[in-house]
Amino acid sequence: MEPNSDAAHPQGEFPLLEGIAQPSDLHRLDVKQLKEVAAEVRRAILEKVSQTGGHFSSNLGTVELTVAMYAAYSLPPDKVVWDTGHQAYPHKLLTGRLNRFDTLRKHRGLRGFLSRDEHELDAFGAGHAGTAVSAALGFALARDRMQETYRVAAVAGDASIVSGMSWEALNHAGELDTQLTVVLNDNRMSIAPNVGALHNYLAKLRSRPQLQDIAYRAKSLAEKMPDPITRVAAGLRHGITHYLAPEETGTIFEEMGFEYIGPLDGHDLETMLEVFRNVRDLKRPVFVHALTVKGKGYEVAESDATKWHGVIPFDLDRCEMVKVAGPQTYTQAFGSAVMDLAEKDSKVVAITAAMPDGTGLIPFSKKYPERYYDTGIAEQHAVTLAAGMAAAGLKPFCAIYSTFLQRAFDQVLHDVALQRLPVRFCLDRAGLVGDDGPTHHGAFDLSYLGLIPGMVLMAPRDTTELQEMMSFMAGFDSGPTVVRYPRGTDEGRVPERRTPIELGKAEILRKGTDVAFVAIGSMVGAAWDAAEHLAEKGIHATVVNARFAKPIDVATIRAVVESHPMTFVLEENALVGGFGQQVLMAMPEFAGKLRLKGLPDAFVEHGAQGILRSECGLDALSIADEAEETLQGLKKN
C-alpha cells in the first residue's frame, strides 16, 4: 500500500495538494480552496505527465469531477470504482500519491492504471473497460448483505458505458433498487449550449432528496393504477422530474430503474459538488451525466484529444510531441498490409473494437470507409460480427489487442472455430507491452488460442514476415487464422533470407552443431543475437524460425532436436499451454533435450520492454548465458 504522506515532495510547489493525503482532507476546504486544488491537480498532470508520458487528455477532463466527488463522499469507507485508469490520475493525486507521481508508468513506479496492490483506495483494478458498474454493484450488494452503510459509486466513460457488460450491469442494478451512483464521464462532445447556469441550477434542484422522494412515490403510485390511468400518471411523474431536465438522454436510464441527473457541466466544480452531496444520500440507483472536455486546460489537447490521449514525454511549453522517426512498427506494417490486400480483393474488410489508431487502421478507415467497422468497446460483438461476415463470404480481418481478445474467448471458440469460419485475427501487442503493465501484456494468446481445434496460429519474426503472413491468411479459407505480433519494431536483426510461408512449416535461419534455438515471433531476433554472442566464444548455434505455433512443424523441429545435445524453445508467452508445451507434447521422448523458456507463471509488472524481457530471461544475453552454462553442465556430466 502507498504511504499516506507527501513529506518527500518539495514543499510549496503544490501548496494545497501537498496537504491532501486522503480524500477526507478535502472536507475541510471551502469551494474557493477546492477550485485551487483542482487547478493544482491539473497542473500536476500537465507537468508530470509531460515528463513521464501516459494517458493525458482524458485525465485532464476529469479533474473537477473528481475533486467535487471526493469532497462530497467519505473515502473511506465509501467506495468509488473507476472504469479503466485513463481517467483516474486525479484519483491518484487525491489519494496521497503526489510524492511518487514522477514514477508514473516507470519500472517499479506507480502503475498507469488502478491496482488494489498499489493503494487501499484503489477499490477495484481497472485496465479493461466496461467493468466499473458490475464491480460497483458487487460492492453495493456486499454492503447490503453485511448490513454496512457505506456509499458506492462507479465512474465510467462514454465509450465504456455502452459496452455490453456495462448495460448488463445497469439493467441488473436498476432491478435491485439499492444505493448505487453511476457517474457518466461524457467527453464525446463539447459542453452543450443548454448546460449553463440556469440548467445547472435546475439539475441541482432535481437531485435533492426531497424532490426525488416525491418523484419516487409518484412512480410507485402510478404502477399500482389501471393501465389507462397509469399512462397519465406516468406522464405526470415525468412532468415532475423531466421538466427540470427535458433531454431524452435520461429517459432510457430512468426506464431501467435509475434516477437520472443531468446533463451537467462536469467542469463546474460548485455544481458538481452540490449534486454529489445530494445524490450520495439517495437510497436508490442514481445516474449522474457529466459532460466534460478531454484535454481541458491544455488547448492543443482540447482541439485534438485523440492525438493527446496517450503521450510520450513532450515539451509542455511548446506543445510539441515529437516522435522520432525509426524503423517501421508492426502496427504500421499491419495497416499497410491490410490496405494492400483490400486493394486487390473487394471482399477484404477490417474490424476493430474501439482501437483504430492503436491497431493501425486509421488509413484503412479513410480509404475504405465502407469496408471498415469499429464496434466500440465490444470485443465479443466484433468477433461474432466477423464470423457472420465470413459465413456470408467476406474476408474479415479482425484487429484486436491480444489482451482484449481474451474477453471474446467464447465467441472465438463457439462462433468462429466450431463452425470453421475463415476469420483472420490480427493480434497487436502480443507479449510484453511495456509501461501499460499486467492488464495489457499479451502473455496468454498462444495458450488460450492454441487449445482450440482447427486454429492456425502464427507469429512473424519481423515486419516483412508479418505482411507475408497476412497474404497467406487472405488466401486461406479452410478455417480461422491468427497472427500475433509485438508492440514496437523488429529492429532488422535477422538477415534477409526468406522462404515462402507454407501452412505449418518452419524455416532454419542458421545451422550449428552445439546448441539449437527454436524460436517463435519476437524471440527469433533474440535467438539470432544469442547465437551471435555464442559464436564469439566458439559455440555454434542453430536458429529455427518456427513461424507456426499451430500446427507446428514436427518434422523440422524433431530433426533439429535429434541432432543437438540441447534445444531451447523460446516464446514471449506464458509457458503454461504455450508453444513450448506444444513442442514437448509432440515429441515427449526428447523431454530431456528440451529447455522451455517463456514468461513466468505470474503477472509481469510494468516497465520498458527491454527491462522486462531481461528480468524474465528472454533477452539475448540471458539466453546465451543460459545456453553456455547448460552446455558446460552437459560436458561435466
Active site (catalytic) residues? 294, 379, 407
Percent of the chain that is helix, strand, coil (3-state, to 5): 45, 15, 40
Of 133, 129, 105, 130, the closest CA to residue 118 belongs to 105
Handedness of CA 95, 98, 102, 108 (dihedral sign): negative
> 87 near 69, Cβ under 8 Å?
no
**From CA 265, how far away is CA 252, in angstroms rounded?**
20
Q: What is the dihedral of CA 215, 216, 220, 225, to 10 degrees?
A: 10
Task: Report the residue count for the chain.
Answer: 637
> 507 near 499, Cβ under 8 Å?
yes
Of 514, 462, 507, the closest CA to residue 489 belongs to 462
Handedness of CA 390, 334, 303, 114 (dihedral sign): positive
Copy the grid coordinates of residue 335: 495497416
Handedness of CA 282, 284, 289, 294 (dihedral sign): positive
**From CA 15, how far away is CA 23, in angstroms rounded?**
16
DSSP for residue 126: B
Report helix, strand or coil for 322: coil
Q: How far is CA 154 from CA 78, 168, 173, 185, 591, in A?
A: 11, 14, 12, 10, 51
